[in-house]
Amino acid sequence: MKKFLIVLAVALVSALTLTTMASANGGPHGGFTPTTDACAGCHRTHTATGPNLLILNSTYALCTTCHGTTGTGADSNVIDGVWLEGRNPTDTTGDANTLINAPLLAGGFNFYKGVATTSNHAVQETTAAAWGNGVNRGLTANLAGGNMNCASCHDPHGSPNYRIINAFVNGVAVNVAQVDEGATKSYDTEQWGAGQSAVCAACHSSYHQTTAGSGSALAMVATGGYTHRVDMSYSYTGPGGTNVNPEIVGFGGLKLPLAQTGTANAVVCQTCHLPHGSSAVMTGHANSGALPGNTSATDSALLRLTNRATCEVCHQK
Amino acid sequence: MTTNSIPESEDIALEHSVEEPEKEEKRRRRLLLLLLLLLFLSCFCAVLFLRYLFKPAPLPELMSLPVEINYPPHYLYSVYGVNLPVGAAVSPDGKKLYVAETGGDRLIKIIEADSGRLLKEFMPPNTSPGERSPVYLAVDASGRVYVTDRLQHAIFIYTGDGEYLDTIIAPNLTLSAYISSQLGGLPQGTKYLYNIFQEGAWYQPAGATDWVSLPVPKHDGWSPLGLTITADGRMLVTNVVSEKSSIIEFPASVTSTENWTDFSPTFTTFGSYGEGDGQFLYPNDALVDSRGRYYSIDGNNARISVWDATQKFQYFFGSGTGEGAVSLPRGAYLDDRNRLFIVDAVGQNVKVYGVSGDQPEFLYAFGDLGVDDGQFNYPNDVVLFGTNIIYIVDRENNRVQVWSY
């Protein structure tokens, strides 16, 4: 009976993954053929253990077995936030490649750019309470699937979404296609489209304000905290800097990425935030320890840049 | 719920037999047999004892059991006080255990093998925890310790006591050789440092207090990960650099040399990146058996590939499902009795194969998923001292387990 169930599960999953896979997924994730070999890296092949076959004691421990600091099974080291190899595949000269150990697009959980992180998403399955999860900003409510781990956001079996983001996050359907460079994965530039805000909004719905003026004082009072409008286009040319690359906002050497949406590129949550963790330093008046989400006075709320540099890149003052 | 039917006690009580002379005779015969057996056993023990007196050696060696009648080892004890350990090695005398950590400050710890006492901890000089990731280790015949570092893309070499000696920063370049080439020779007492994150190399002339910087040495896109030093001193390194992955075999001169200031070994490479025959994805170790055959522990392809002594690909094993199949093979060790020990990180056990014949033979697996004694939680490496003491690095349980036959 157990064996039959396992075989059924395997058949179902392979059928599902085979039919829904739009693009080739990285590493051992998806693109499975109807053999069970492809599952071995994450599931035990030892049939005698029966029901244990699919039981993983900790998703975080499993993922970091390959994506951890040792890079023993992947080039992306999400703990230190580095891509371990050179990222220029056309470089055949063998020259010292300055891109070795370049920062990961998603940030890092323990370190980022060589510095200990000042905030990260709690993926060690210890917390389920998310800010603005169907409740006002500044309040928390538990996620539908229990404590958060890597699989809350990523589907280890592959998905048609960018970076194998789950088709359903926290029970909400999410659609983030990979843009640029077709199906080719390049981990050196963001390849997400406008749907990227929806990933965050699946767990922080009340932060997803898309109407003009939603960052004004009145809205703040009404919904319980500061939020910035997202999913609107941004372009800037003027004194103090130019928006040279339409997908990157730059000012004084600082840069923020925009989502590619054709002609006018959009501001999304990830324009200001990193999804894994950040080592940005918060001091002085930018230190908002008392605000929700900030577990300590130096918590950087996953922001990409130090202090309020995040604001200055666009509101060049 | 199912209940087993147990025979009622009254049924048994009914059976009563009467003493008969025939039975008495039988019992006497049985006693005699037992006595003879005891005599034989004590003779055997006496012979073993005499042999031991002339040539002391552990029991399994004295008995020289053939591999075929092998049995799984048993759990002895654990060494705690290590934070997310991933790799281990033992000193030639078996007294010191070296363990590489990925948690906390990511140190390499020297532990007294008998007592589990921490003797010393060390790390690549001039690096902060976020800049280093010691993974696998090997010890050469003179007790020097070699440690691969995935973040530094290098192999660091230390004395048996953890004093820094040198860094192999490319297959044909060491730090001391680089400094020497830049300075036109390396005066005695010169110190040197390297940190890939700081884009440069530094040296300090003997007696000086300031460090002088030199341009970045060429690191040639190599990523050493798995590391083995064979009984005859050759060094096998798995290079996992994307797309250019290979196994590199260094000659014995690399591990027998006094220093590495003059470094131009004639190394050979074999295997490549991929899923086909003779290829691998993130090989975590490479080994050589007594017949000179090579093994790659092919992590992400969930198999072990074999090359002959001329580095020509032969076959792979351990893939698929069932008893002898591996899920995510990582660190491995080949002992003097041609037993291949492979840690299966996701299988949560150690699998042992006999590799003395033409084809590898799966012998047994030991351990299971859990946090109790003898259970594993993402184990990552295995190393033996002799053929009897087995150390298994039990990552998520923050310990090194010690097993024995």
In what helix (H) or strand (E) does residue B25 lie, and over which residues does it extend? helix B21-54
Chain A residues whose beta carbon lies within 8 Å of the beta carbon of residue B128: 114
Range from A88-92, A208-212, B25-29 carrying the lowest mean pLDDT: A88-92
In what helix (H) or strand (E) does residue A309 lie, and over which residues does it extend? helix A309-312
Q: Which two tokens stand for residue A168?
A: 């359903």
Provide CB contacts within 8 A for A152, sequence distance 6+.
Answer: A123, A143, A145, A166, A169, A170, A203
| A residues 7-36 closer than 8 Å to B (CB) | 27-28, 36
Instruction: State whether A77 and B241 contact (CB < 8 Å).
Output: no
pLDDT-derived band at B308, boundaries 50, 70, 90: very high
Pick the residue of A45, A112, A278 with the most B CBs within 10 A to test the interface with B by mutation: A45
With CA atoms as reference, the chain A residue closest to B151 would be: A84
Residues A78, A84: Cα–Cα separation, whole Å: 10
Q: Render pLDDT for B209-268 as a digit per residue (tens, 0 to 9).
A: 999 999 888 776 789 999 999 999 999 999 998 778 999 999 999 999 999 999 999 999
| CATH dotted code for B69-404 | 2.120.10.30
Q: What is the DSSP letter of A193?
A: B
Give the distance, in angstroms, between the CA of residue B152 and the centroid of all CA atoms in the same chain: 22
Chain B residues whose beta carbon lies within 8 Å of the beta carbon of residue A27: 300
Pick the residue of B300, B326, B364, B393 with the most A CBs within 10 A to test the interface with A by mutation: B300
pTM of the model: 0.88
Query: How distant is the Cα of A37 from the closest Cα of chain B, in angstroms?
Result: 5
Task: Compute the radius of gyration of chain A from its Cα atoms.
Answer: 21
Q: Which of B397, B383, B401 is CA-nearest to residue B136?
A: B383
Chain B residues whose beta carbon lies within 8 Å of the beta carbon of residue A48: 323
Which among A45, A80, A111 has the least Cβ separation from residue B327? A45
Pairwise pLDDT comparison (A99 vs A282), residue with the higher score: A282
Looking at residue B82, its pLDDT comes to: 97
Residues shown for chain A: 317
Task: Provide the ipTM.
Answer: 0.82
Residues B180, B186: Cα–Cα separation, whole Å: 5
Q: What is the mean pLDDT of residues B15-31?
A: 72
Q: Render pLDDT for A2-59 as a digit per residue (tens, 0 to 9).
A: 444 444 444 444 444 433 333 356 677 875 544 446 788 888 875 444 444 444 468 9
Instruction: State whether B102 and A97 contact (CB < 8 Å).
Output: no
A124 interfaces chain B, CB cutoff of 8 Å: no
Chain A residues whose beta carbon lies within 8 Å of the beta carbon of residue B319: 37, 40
Residues B283, B305: Cα–Cα separation, whole Å: 10
Q: Which two tokens stand for residue B17?
A: 């037999």
With CA atoms as reference, the chain B residue closest to A95 would be: B220
What are the residue ranges spanned by the domains of chain A? 113-317
Residues B236, B216: Cα–Cα separation, whole Å: 26
As to burial, measured by CB atoms within 10 angstroms (0-12 exposed, 13-18 middle, 19+ buried), residue A166 is: buried
CA atoms within 13 A on the CB side of B156: 31
Residues shown for chain B: 405
Neighbouring-strand partners of residue B146: B138, B157
Question: A137, A207 in Cβ contact below 8 A?
Answer: yes
